Amino acid sequence: MSNTKLSVNINKFATIRNARGGNNPDLIQVAKDCETFGAEGITVHPRPDERHIRYEDTRALTHVVGTEFNIEGNPNQTFIDLVLETKPTQVTLVPDGPNVLTSNAGWDCIKNEKFLKETIALFQSNGIRTSIFIDPVVDQIKAAKQTGTDRVELYTESFASQFELDCEKAVRPYREAAETAISMEIGINAGHDLDLKNLKYFVTNVPNVLEVSIGHALVCDALYLGLHNTIVAYLNQLR
């Protein structure tokens, strides 16, 4: 049985709201409902252009999320100030540029060791757990240890894209990365393109995954199944 927590990324609900203006769907109610339906965390990823989650959304959600609140994003000064103001359970550092459609690469922890080490120490000194978005590369996991991070979030796009071609080949680098992280006492999260087809296989074959963050696929499934049924279905994959 997996102990992996499901954190629902609600960015896409904000995208729908912003497309029409107004406050439908209401993100505060969405977050509350996700938790009522069984989600064990809420994730947001505010970007500089606020094309989905806005900074004001993040501030408002701080007061209503009763499970774990995870804020992810590129740690520029505006993002750092937002995280220090809102003090979420966890901050996930993602090296995405302002013009990317979605996160598309993990950190190079070797080249960015000094910056990451300083940023992580700042968040930790404020009682915020840290995680680094990272590719499943053993050398990068080892380098992440030097930054002092609490966790790494394995970037699972390559696993998802190769899953139906050769599931064992697709999962192997993630298993190796996780085993390295475990040996170094680094916690393991995962996210990006995990869905109802591949999630159970991933958490079954990658040891000690503490949390998965899922947004786009979950929202797409909710269009057909409904939000309550969808969250239950994802939790069933984890259990």
How many CA within 13 A on the CB side of residue 152? 32
Catalytic residue among 40, 52, 153, 192: 192
Give the number of other Cβ atoms within 10 Å of residue 67's Cβ: 18
Radius of gyration (C-alpha) of the chain in whole angstroms? 17
User: Which position among 35, 40, 52, 72 bears the catalytic label?
Assistant: 72
Q: Which residue out of 35, 40, 45, 52 is catalytically annotated?
A: 45
Does residue 192 have an active-site annotation?
yes
Q: Is 72 a catalytic residue?
A: yes
Q: What are phi and psi of 107, to 5 degrees?
A: -70, 145
**For the chain, what is the largest distance between any 2 Cα atoms, rounded to a whole number of angstroms?**
49
Going by C-beta distance under 8 Å and a sequence separation of 6 or more, which residues neighbour residue 52? 11, 12, 14, 15, 18, 45
Q: Give the DSSP H/E element, type plus range, for residue 140.
A: helix 138-147
Mention every residue, 6+ apart, whose C-beta is less than 8 A from residue 129: 89, 90, 91, 150, 151
C-alpha distance from residue 2 to each of 8, 25, 239 (Å): 17, 32, 5
Catalytic positions, please?
A: 45, 72, 192
